[in-house]
Amino acid sequence: MQVSDGMVLKKLGIVEVDYFGLQYNGSKKEALWLNLRNRICDHEINGSTRVYRLSLRVKFFVPPHLIQQEATKELFYIQAKDMMVKGLISLNSKDCDESRLAKIAACICQAEYGDQTCNIHQNTVYSEILEELIGTCGREVSPAFVEQISAEHSKLKGRTRSSACYIALGEVSQLPTYGCEMHRATSTSGADVTFVVGPEGIVIEDNKTSSTKSIPYGQIRLATHNEKAVNITLIDDYGESQNEELFKLRSRKSAVALYRCITEMHSFYRCDTVGSHVQSQYCRDFKGTFVSIFNENSELGKRYIFDIQRTRQEAYDLVRRKLYAKANSPLSSPSHSSLSSNLCASNNGESDDDQEEDFCDDCFNENGQLSSITSGKVNIGDLQRLNKNQQKEVKQLKRRIQHLEDSLTCCICMDKQVCVVLCPCGHMTCDDCSSLITQCPQCRTNVDRFQKVFPNAGISCREKFSKDSDSVKAD
């Protein structure tokens, strides 16, 4: 299923694939995440025979300044707005004050409708946006509040849609329920509670009394599930285990979804890397269990519990390296793009470049001269192909020189030449940037010491040696 998810994101031009997932509705209309490591037929999607209806959703919300692609920001904005409309991101007066709500509404208006106008329908647009956003939380809209939105909207004049979306995401990311998942459950005392699983931990809210209990991830010793129940064992300030708390959900799939959500949220946001104990957890169906009695290494009937592959930092670093390599790749140069767009496959499957290279090899004799010239015949077509081949070699040399120059440029400021080695990893930066960092920007290794180098020293020595050699030959 990673193929399907990757194909959708590839069509959208998105490299940040670790933030997204595919979602479907269970038998009791609960929203469940598709496990991308398992077959789609193993999920028993409700109401599906041959056609599966899946939703591409943001699974892990990160702060807007960590999003590196505009297409990803657009999808984050669309889903954040949808979650505010559905009440999944709370906009009540306790979590969101009027000034922040006014900024969010103004940014949405700028993104959806553009610059502020002076017609009489502008306030109607504000009222419609507010009714859509806070219709589920019951906040009242006063004329003074509408004027506050108008004032915020006037400050956004000239902003593009992408810029307005980014500002809106920045405001929404400050809300306490940003990036959280909601799961309804029942406690052992029979109370109806909601699990709010987020980047920092779990908040258990009593739906009747509105009382909350916050549990950071560091306080959770163990989380397990058994059929429709989820068991959570906590530790106190002295590291001693407390009593186990049990919560019942409406289906076994809901219990697995809550258990999976807690584990994957903790791994993505709080861990340096995804542990092998998370990646290797699996269960088997009846047929696979029977076969495993005779061959425990059999892959038959194996269903993985988690599909998370990277943490937030690992995903960010991987995308940064991919985008940097793509920007500096010869495939992204205009000359290569214009050349590759004109290529077509021949009957035997070879490209025009391959045929041209074979032809040019046939044109030259052992002395490196054109065979047509040595035979006393000058063919204009051969000369044109030779000229084209030489131009191609010049372009390749220019790209190689550009790569060498980029490799000697500081990866932080992308302006000055590298002259400091970071020990022990060996990556290099410029002198100014090295004084501002404590970790390597490429591999995240702690820097023990900085070693000054002189990359131009060898070049100047070679130039001096070549000049001396030329003067000796002249004498």
pLDDT in tens, 24-35: 888 778 888 988
More confident residue, 334 or 402: 402
Beta bridge partners of 33: 23
Q: What is the 3-state secondary structure (H, E, C) of 113-156?
A: HCCCCCCCCHHHHHHHHHHHHHCCCCCCCCHHHHHHHHHHHHCC
What's the distance, CA 52 to chain centroid?
25
- At 467, the pLDDT band (50, 70, 90 cuts) reads low
pLDDT digits (tens, 9 = 90+) for 347-373: 444 444 444 444 444 444 444 444 444
Q: Are 217 and 232 in contact (CB under 8 A)?
A: no
Closest CA to 17 of 72, 81, 78, 74: 72
The structural domains of the chain, with segments of one domain joined by +, span 333-407, 415-475
CA-to-CA separations, 180 to 144, 312, 460, in angstroms, rounded: 32, 15, 58
| Residue 376 pLDDT > 80 | no
Pairing mode of beta strands 282-284, 192-197: unpaired
The per-residue pLDDT for 48 is 54
3-state secondary structure of 33: strand
The per-residue pLDDT for 35 is 86
- Classify burial at 259, counting beta carbons within 10 Å of its beta carbon; exposed 0-12, middle 13-18, buried 19 or more: buried
Cis status, amide bond into 455, omega within 30 of 0: no
Q: What is the Cβ-side half-sphere exposure of residue 262, based on CA atoms within 13 angstroms?
A: 27
- Classify burial at 257, counting beta carbons within 10 Å of its beta carbon; exposed 0-12, middle 13-18, buried 19 or more: buried
- Classify burial at 150, counting beta carbons within 10 Å of its beta carbon; exposed 0-12, middle 13-18, buried 19 or more: middle
Beta bridge partners of 246: 231
Q: Are 427 and 440 in contact (CB under 8 A)?
A: yes
Least confident residue range of 230-234, 287-291, 332-336, 434-438: 332-336
Measured CA to CA, the distance from residue 64 to residue 170 in angstroms comes to 6
b (16+ CB within 10 A) / e for 404-439? eeeeebbbbeeeeebbbbbeebebbbbeebbeeeee
CA angle 334, 340, 343 (to 5 degrees): 150
The per-residue pLDDT for 137 is 67
The per-residue pLDDT for 173 is 93
Question: Hey, what CATH class is 415-475 in?
Answer: alpha beta
Q: What is the mean pLDDT of the chain?
A: 80
For the segment 233-261, the average pLDDT, to the nearest whole number, is 87
Residue type, 81: K
Measured CA to CA, the distance from residue 220 to residue 182 in angstroms comes to 18
Measured CA to CA, the distance from residue 334 to residue 340 in angstroms comes to 10
Q: What pTM does this model have?
A: 0.67
Measured CA to CA, the distance from residue 468 to residue 448 in angstroms comes to 41
The backbone torsions φ and ψ at residue 253, rounded to the nearest 5 degrees and listed phi first, read -65, -35
